[in-house]
Every structure is written in structure tokens, then in C-alpha cells.
């Protein structure tokens, strides 16, 4: 495993635990996870492009209760790696394909984590009801450790898939297919974000902030 793989593995693990456990400072957002992953690879453009695509996919998720949903944090890190190793910004479609697959795996792992944490709490319920501080600490630390192992495993699997895809050298098979896959990924992301974002924002005051943010984004993109 190369130094780049280890750095990305560490970053993907931190991104994974940020979703629920610690430090919860929004680095699990795909646009943040992807941009920083791209910077780690010396390819910020690819990281930003992939991050925006998965940020749009993220808008279609409404995390309520125990609902199952894809996890796009570590998936975005793997997607950036796949796109970078497969050809850079134009390999957006390849990265998106890898990321969507890893996102589904992340969703399954989150369900496993919830079940494992619930079993741990039930097993220690008597001591917890008695106010045993050590048991509380043990259960809490156990949950954090399980989440770290889960996030690391998902990231490692994603990076392995990204490496495998890069070895296929898809970019050289058909440049036209590369462009079409990137367009398809961007179109699917726009469709997902376009339907999910209004549902998240609603029709209240947040709608005005959304309009202002979109306008500001267009201006910044035009200037850049």
C-alpha cells in the first residue's frame, strides 16, 4: 500500500466517523471530503468536481430515524481516487460509478453499526440503569471504535475498487465513452439534487437563502 493510499485511508476513516461519532465538523459532506481528497492527490480540480457530484446526490437523502441510505463521505474519497487514477477530471463518470457502489456499502455498514451498538447497550442495560460510569464509558468507547473500524473498512474497500478500476485503464479504451459517462454522472447528480434539495429546504424562509446561495455560486463560478 502506497503512502497516498494510507493518507486517503486515514482521511476516509475520519470522514466516516464524522457522520455520527466524532468530531462532527461537517467534513463528511462530499464537497469537503472530495476537495480535500483531491488536494491530497495533488488534483484539486478532480476532487472538487467529484465532491460537487456527490453533494448533489447527498441532497436526495433525508436521514430520519433508522432509515437506510447510502453513505457518501468515504464513498466520495474513493470516487476521487478512482477518477484521479483513471484519468483526472474527465474520468468523472468512472469515479461516480465507484463512489455510488461504495456508498451503498457504506449504507449497509451503518445498519450493521446501529445493530451492534443496540446489542451492546442491551447487554449492559442493567449496569447502565444502576448508573455505572465505567460501563457507560465502555459502551461509548466501544461504539466509537466500531464506527472507526467500519469507516476504515468501507474506505479500504473503496480504495481497493478504485485501484482495480484504474488498472483496467478504461480511459484508453474509448475517450468518447469517458466523456459520455461523465455527462451521465453529472446529469444524474443534477436530477437527484434538483428533486431532493427543494424537499429539504421547503417553502419557508430557507428558500430565499437557497436562491441567494445559488445566485452567489453562479457569480463566483462566472468570475472564476
Place of cell 497516498: 4
CB 117 within 8 A of CB 143: yes
Widest Cα–Cα separation across the chain: 66
Give dist(CA 66, CA 145) in Å, integer.
Answer: 20
pTM: 0.87
CA angle 208, 33, 5 (to 5 degrees): 170
pLDDT higher than 70, residue 172: no
pLDDT, tens digit, for every residue of 94-107? Answer: 999 999 999 999 99
> What pLDDT is attached to residue 60?
80
Instruction: Mean pLDDT check: name the lowest of 35-39, 132-136, 145-149, 173-177.
Output: 173-177
Q: For residue 125, name the pLDDT band (cuts at 50, 70, 90).
A: confident
Can you count the helices (H) and strands (E) in the chain?
A: 10, 0
| Whole-number pLDDT of residue 149 | 95
Q: Is the pLDDT of residue 155 over 80?
A: yes
Residue 24 has pLDDT above 90, yes or no: no
pLDDT the model gives residue 128: 80
Q: What is the mean pLDDT of residues 121-137?
A: 86
Q: Is pLDDT above 90 for 69?
A: no
pLDDT of residue 50: 94
Q: What is the pLDDT of residue 224?
A: 61
Name the residue with cell 440503569. Answer: 129
> Percentage of the chain with pLDDT > 70?
94
Q: How far apart are CA 162 and CA 94, in angstroms?
A: 9
Q: Are 82 and 99 in contact (CB under 8 A)?
A: yes
Q: CB–CB of 162/98 below 8 Å?
A: yes
Amino acid at each position: 500500500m502506497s503512502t497516498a493510499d494510507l493518507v486517503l485511508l486515514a482521511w476516509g476513516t475520519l470522514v466516516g466517523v464524522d457522520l455520527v461519532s466524532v468530531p462532527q465538523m461537517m467534513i463528511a459532506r462530499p464537497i469537503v471530503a472530495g476537495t480535500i481528497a483531491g488536494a491530497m492527490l495533488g488534483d484539486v480540480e478532480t476532487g472538487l468536481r467529484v465532491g460537487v457530484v456527490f453533494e448533489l446526490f447527498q441532497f436526495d437523502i433525508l436521514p430520519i430515524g433508522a432509515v437506510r441510505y447510502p453513505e457518501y463521505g468515504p464513498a466520495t474519497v474513493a470516487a476521487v481516487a478512482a477518477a484521479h487514477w483513471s484519468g483526472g477530471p474527465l474520468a468523472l463518470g468512472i469515479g461516480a460509478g465507484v463512489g455510488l457502489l461504495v456508498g451503498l456499502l457504506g449504507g449497509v455498514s451503518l445498519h450493521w453499526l446501529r445493530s451492534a451498538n443496540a446489542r451492546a447497550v442491551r447487554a449492559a442495560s442493567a449496569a447502565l440503569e444502576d448508573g455505572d460510569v465505567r460501563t457507560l464509558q465502555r459502551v461509548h468507547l466501544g461504539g466509537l471504535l466500531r464506527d472507526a473500524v467500519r469507516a476504515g473498512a468501507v474506505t479500504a474497500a473503496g480504495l481497493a475498487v478504485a485501484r482495480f478500476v484504474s488498472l483496467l485503464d478504461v480511459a484508453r479504451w474509448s475517450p468518447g465513452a469517458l466523456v459520455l459517462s461523465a455527462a451521465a454522472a453529472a446529469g444524474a447528480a443534477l436530477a437527484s439534487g434538483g428533486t431532493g434539495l427543494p424537499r429539504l429546504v421547503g417553502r419557508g424562509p430557507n428558500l430565499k437563502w437557497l436562491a441567494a446561495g445559488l445566485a452567489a455560486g453562479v457569480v463566483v463560478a462566472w468570475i472564476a
